[in-house]
Structure 1
Amino acid sequence: MRIIKPLALTMALSISAAAQADVTLTVAQDVNLLVANGEKVKLSSGLFSSNNTLVLPNGESQIVFRYEPSFTKAGEEISTTSDTIIAKFTASDSQVSFVMPDYKSYRSAEEHISNLEWQLVDQAGNPITKVEDKLTKEGMQLGRDYVDEAKDYNQTGAKAAIVLAGAAGASTAIALQKTATTNPQSNAGANTTKQVDSDTAEEMLHFWYNRADKATQQRFKDFINQ
């Protein structure tokens, strides 16, 4: 088994570095990218390549994918599928590509794909540090909602979990603040609890605001001003 160097590494030479403002993730045809940063993926087609791309914000990102290599056997095309992988990595102003195993046969893929060895590399071919885990689901595997599964996974605080910033986080903080400040209390002990909850809500507001990008921060300011 050897690792395939993706075509995107050579194609990157034709793209101006000055145009880089985010992270461009190149996705090969045999990589089924399911979720990125808590959202269902919409890929853009490559202009000179069969690969697709996805633009991610600078900083930490999380992806959910499966590797689905295909082979020709007895004149028919067959494929095999890896476990669903959830992974996080950090990159800025760069092009990132998957580097996947090059299985020589269907049998080899079936033997090794359960222990998938893969990498993310930048445009210079340098490995990018990642933390990965398997996104598992008990029982029937049909009709899986990977967005919800990734959300549930992140709430566990497992090794590949991240805290997703944005409007959803800000809304959660606002809801917590509303709950803490509108519940009436009738005694001194309850008033103390109310104060503690309000302080906690304020800390969460600051936390989520600082995690959000500038556009989300502005929307939050506009909401408060209303």
Structure 2
Amino acid sequence: MKKIAKKMIKYGIIGGAVCLLYTGNPAWADVTLQLPQNITILAENGKNTKMNKRASLPDGDNQIVVQFQGELSRKHEDKDADFEYSDTFVIRFNALNQTLKMVTPRINRLLELEKWNKKPDIRILDSAGRELDIQIARLKKDGFQIFRNYETELEAFNKTDSPAAVDTLSSVSEDSVSPPAAQVSPKNQSQSQDKTDMAEDMLDYWYQQADEEAKARFKQRINKQ
């Protein structure tokens, strides 16, 4: 009986594993992309994402938006560091059933980030270390850079002639179009306005807490793109 029970457990585990492999669970993506430490994905295939350090993508043509985010010193000898953001970049590549790795140079100082912004050194390698053919473009936005809606920006970007644009994604955001104003209840409008007011209050509070040098850097960051 014990031998039979062990066999049942053994085959049950194997059967369960096989089921997991073939049940089309979305967690089992066809393409996996691993990112460097300070590179974050902000959008995948025309959709906003949470700030991810790893992407699970479908086979075929893919488009992602990435950004450097990390603490940097202004000079080599500086011990103090400020949290800095790079410009945002659209990357387009094609892959099938692969585990990929993004590679970028190590960025430790603000000057290195400024150089990288002008000429981003971004490579994507397959498991054998071969470099994929990728297209990179800066996703430009004038004015305030915080709380960006990448779905809206990518919809416009994908209608351009940029090599990193993807035609099939230009209408992706149709699924997430907001309902007409007449269908939005006053309650929902009020909640949306409250969130906007709260965000503005938080930004104003932290701005007022900063010293003059930090305020100047904040203004520069807002208007640099």
Q: TM-score, normalised by structure 2?
A: 0.55
Q: Which amino acid counterpart does residue 67 of structure 1 have in structure 2?
A: F
Instruction: Tell me the distance in 1 between the aligned counterparts of 2:136 and 2:124.
Output: 11
Cα 1:94–1:140, aligned 2, differ >3 Å: closer, same or farther? same
Instruction: Tell me the distance in 2 between the aligned counterparts of 1:140 and 1:94.
Output: 37
Question: 8 Å contact 1:32–1:65 — kept in the other structure?
Answer: yes
Matched, 1:22 2:30: yes
Deviations 1:17-76 (A, max 9, x none): xx78600011233112111101122467xxxxxxx3221000000011112243357443
Question: 8 Å contact 1:72–1:78 — kept in the other structure?
Answer: yes
Q: Which amino acid counterpart does residue 54 of structure 2 have in structure 1?
A: T
Identity of aligned residues (%): 26
For 1:86-165, list aligned pairs within 5 A: 86-164=90-168
SS in 2 for 1:83: strand
SS in 1 for 2:157: helix
Q: TM-score, normalised by structure 1?
A: 0.55
Deviations 1:129-156 (A, max 9, x none): 1011111112333332111101111122
Question: 8 Å contact 1:34–1:65 — kept in the other structure?
Answer: yes
Question: 8 Å contact 1:38–1:147 — kept in the other structure?
Answer: yes
Instruction: Tell me the distance in 1 between the aligned counterparts of 2:118 and 2:85.
Output: 9
Q: Can you give the 5+ residue segments of structure 1 that lack an aligned partner in the other structure?
A: 1-18, 45-51, 172-226
Instruction: Tell me the distance in 1 between the aligned counterparts of 2:125 and 2:56.
Output: 15
Cα 1:141–1:53, aligned 2, differ >3 Å: closer, same or farther? closer
Q: Which amino acid counterpart does residue 90 of structure 1 have in structure 2?
A: N
For 1:1-226, list aligned pairs within 5 A: 22-42=30-50, 52-71=53-72, 74-164=78-168
Question: 8 Å contact 1:38–1:164 — kept in the other structure?
Answer: no
Deviations 1:69-102 (A, max 9, x none): 4335744332433221012100011011210111
Q: Which amino acid counterpart does residue 68 of structure 1 have in structure 2?
A: Q
Q: Can you give the 5+ residue segments of structure 2 that lack an aligned partner in the other structure?
A: 1-20, 22-27, 176-225
Question: 8 Å contact 2:152–2:173 — kept in the other structure?
Answer: no
Q: Structure 1 segments of 4 or more deviating over 4 A?
A: 167-171
SS in 1 for 2:113: helix
Instruction: Tell me the distance in 1 between the aligned counterparts of 2:166 and 2:137.
Output: 12
RMSD value over aligned CA atoms? Answer: 3.0
Which of 138-147 and 102-111 deviates more? 102-111
